[in-house]
Structure 1
């Protein structure tokens, strides 16, 4: 799903004032939403699912140990991301890959270690995400991903990303368990849901902000279903490639695409003028 927006050079908010949420940067800190964005996003989501399983089961770290390790790595990557002055493909997508693992682990910990029902965790994550969006809008008067050009907006952006991964994990597991579709059919179901969002946006005029974030949430269970289908044993409905091969395959593709984008800079954009409060 690619969204276009006008990009005047003046950093003025919807109310005509420059927000006091931090010094503006000339460059947007996140990539343009192109086909490359969605491909890498799904691949990172798949790696998040398979890598979490790999570290938990193969490395013998246990769910708690893996959670602590990946949270520490995520914290380091976000420090680097926040310290950059503009979007850097390698730094940004490393943070996304790590946050996909951490988001998965948050949901898994609630379900497996604490015994929280998936219905409850799905609701909690949905409410948490709604609160992040409400605070983001209240402070910045826009939820646009084309204007992640202050520290405040970047904080809200990454909080929203974290909760979309956690919500997508819980909701995806809930749907899969309740419907019992199996990995392949689950992937088809979520792909069709994303296609429906695209049609609603491009053909029916659905708000670009909500179209983006709904699709962003749905890519999590889509990627998880694809990862499970490739990695799980054939007896369980998968192709039996294993988590090592699946993770390695997708990481290779991600790395190739990130290198291409780093060289070509096809997904780099200037920070745009903040539009009306409901624009993308």
Structure 2
């Protein structure tokens, strides 16, 4: 039996390198909100194009858009890092699905905009409670777990559906009209922006309020562009409006993709449970501090 000589030291074992997760979700910046409004406006006109102009109907349109949403969100969940084309495709599809779902509930189902908004608000609140109790972060810029990202997309789907009901309630039930509704919602968005910079109101609360409101802003803007003149619109029609918005969205996605090549998103620390600190399943690729794989 060999014993260690006096004064000898055990060999130094270096600590394993810190691990990080590549981001799957974008930073919330000005380009984020521009893209969000463009995507939600396209969602309004695209949903109306299929359900009304092409006379497919709200039920079949909802099923089609939900199927496309599920396909796109699977690609998003399987991606190893933020991919603008995939991410904004999912956002646009939640908007189109939210448009037709809301119209199916409120018009075909006869629930009405007010009751529809109440139901969707309750659903969104339940999602947030589940999200909070799951131990995942509610900071949308720092979602680094698979479970957290799933809850993120469910919340977005409810938010866009709620935004459609809210926009229709404001423009139709209250008789404000499409143009004035867009102006009112723009003013509210500017108020939220001021609250972000000049008050101590929780940033995540402001984000989700703004996220919900961009949906009716996009909806009323889309209706203003596409609806006939005698309905308070510009009579562009859903087809031409959708084509124009799709071109804008594609151009912005290309710009963001090129920008990310020279300004990549900084990675996040390997995720842990918010309360227990136990490791969590990451939603993106794991890398070390030098950017290599683990």
CA distance in 2 between counterparts of 1:118 and 1:33 reads 30
Would you say the 8 A contact 2:48–2:100 is kept in 1?
A: no
Q: Are the counterparts in 2 of residues 146 and 272 from structure 1 also a CA contact under 8 Å?
A: no
Moved over 4 A (4+): 272-275
Which of 129, 134, 139 lines up with 1:134 in the alignment? 129
Pairwise CA RMSD = 2.0
Q: Which residues in structure 2 correspond to 1:249-268 (within 5 Å)?
A: 249-265=244-260, 266=263, 268=265
The answer to whether the aligner puts 1:203 opposite 2:191 as a matched pair is no
The runs of 5 or more residues in structure 2 that have no matched partner are: 1-16, 275-294
Residue 82 (structure 1) aligned to one of 54, 72, 77 = 77
Does 2:41 correspond to 1:27?
no
* Rg larger in structure: 2
Relative to 1, partners in 2 of residues 1:221 and 1:10: Cα closer, same or farther, differing over 3 Å?
Answer: farther
Any unmatched runs of 5+ in structure 1?
1-8, 12-24
Q: Size of the alignment, in residue pairs? A: 256
**Could you say which residue in structure 2 is the equivalent of 1:270?**
267
**Alpha-carbon distance between aligned partners in 2 of 1:161 and 1:267, rounded to the nearest angstrom:** 24
Say which structure, 1 or 2, has more relative contact order (CA 8 Å, 6+ apart).
1
Deviations 1:56-97 (A, max 9, x none): 123232112211111111111011111101110000000100
> What's 2:8 paired with?
none
Distance 2:264 2:208 in 1: 18
Contact 1:146 1:271 in 2 (8 A): no
Higher helix share: 1
Aligned runs of 1:43-192 on 2, under 5 Å? 43-192=38-187
Does the 8 A contact of 1:227 with 1:246 survive in 2?
Answer: yes
TM score, norm. by length of structure 2 = 0.82
Note if contact 1:46-1:224 (Cα within 8 Å) is conserved in structure 2. yes
